[in-house]
Amino acid sequence: MNFPYRFIIVTLVFAAVLAAGCTQGTGPAVPVTPVPVTGSGLQDLALIPSEVPSCFSLTDQHVKSSGEVGQLAKDLGWQAGYQVMYTCPGSGPEPTVIIHSLAIYPAGNISGIASLVDHQDRSASYTYRDLSFPDKNSIMIGFFGKAGRTEIPGISAGTDVLISNSVPGTTAVSGSDVAEIIFYRGTCFNVMKMTGPGTNMTLLRDIALGVSAKIP
């Protein structure tokens, strides 16, 4: 009377062992899906001192709280954020600044967010040149802008709304250029921005390509 039940139990245990991969079969390996970046991992992906020229020093690094981002970012699924800022003193009163902001969003929303940031971070007072980048692993877009008024915000409102990378008191004076690169992979959304007299799009591109390679 007990045979059928014992047979069923043995069959289920054997099936569980097969499903767990504990047998010594020689079938093809199962592809490993990259683990999405989480909020706690953003700091490890942020720009580090060895990745910028020696004149730049780290002047800010902090985890973003939900209170530091706008409602639009939250509506689009903002989950976590992190920011670093590097500053290189200039010969005049204005330094050259690089800000790297990272955020976690649902992967399905990031393409639209990138387009929105790209649009909102362009002031009408600049003349822009669109740029593309040969990174095979991340989606990367960017622009280089020439200032055309006597005083301009150093950090635009659009990026602040979505990943909150504004730094209170940071401004760019007349004639300053601005360069920005937006790149993302999976759930990790990045904006790297450079302002000031030493703004160099080629340098920023190379830095962004190096940082993007760290994203799993």
**Residue 56, in any domain of the structure:** yes
Report yes or no: 43 and 104 within 8 Å, Cβ to Cβ.
no
Confidence of residue 6 (pLDDT cuts 50, 70, 90): very low
Q: How high is the pLDDT of residue 141?
A: 83
**Residue 90, in any domain of the structure:** yes
Which CATH number goes with the domain that contains 173? Answer: 3.40.1000.70
Could you tell me the CA-to-CA distances from 203 to 40, 110, 128, 193, 206 in Å, in that order? Answer: 28, 25, 18, 11, 5
Please check the confidence at residue 116 and state whether its pLDDT lies above 60.
Answer: yes
Distance in angstroms (rounded) separating the CA atoms of residues 111 and 183: 10
Confidence of residue 139 (pLDDT cuts 50, 70, 90): confident
Confidence of residue 133 (pLDDT cuts 50, 70, 90): low
Range in 24-33, 78-87, 155-164 the model is least confident about: 155-164
Among residues 27, 26, 2, the alpha carbon closest in space to that of 10 is found at 2
**Residue 117 C-beta-side C-alpha neighbours within 13 Å:** 33
DSSP string covering 58-108, please? Answer: EEEEEEEPGGGS-HHHHHTT--EEEEEEEEE--SSSPPEEEEEEEEE--HH
Distance in angstroms (rounded) separating the CA atoms of residues 125 and 97: 20
**Residue 81, in any domain of the structure:** yes
**Residue 33, in any domain of the structure:** no
Question: What mean pLDDT is reported for the chain?
Answer: 74
Residue 185 CA to chain centroid, in angstroms?
Answer: 8
**Residue 14, in any domain of the structure:** no
Instruction: Determine the 3-state secondary structure of 38 from DSSP.
Output: coil
The mean pLDDT of 106-129, rounded to a whole number, is 84
**Residue 23, in any domain of the structure:** no
**Residue 4, in any domain of the structure:** no
Distance in angstroms (rounded) separating the CA atoms of residues 118 and 133: 15
Range in 33-37, 49-53, 71-75, 117-121 the model is least confident about: 33-37
Confidence of residue 134 (pLDDT cuts 50, 70, 90): low
- Range of 102-106, 123-127, 160-164 with top mean pLDDT: 102-106
The mean pLDDT of 99-104, rounded to a whole number, is 96
Please check the confidence at residue 30 and state whether its pLDDT lies above 80.
Answer: no
**Residue 66, in any domain of the structure:** yes
What is the side-by-side order of every strand in the sheet holding 80-88?
57-64, 80-88, 96-104, 188-196, 177-185, 139-147, 126-132
User: Which structural domain, as residue segments, surrounds residue 50?
Assistant: 38-212
Q: Where are the beta strands (DSSP E) in 112-198?
A: 126-132, 139-147, 151-153, 171-173, 177-185, 188-196
The pTM of the full predicted model, rounded to 2 decimals, is: 0.71
When divided into structural domains, the chain yields a total of: 1
Confidence of residue 16 (pLDDT cuts 50, 70, 90): very low
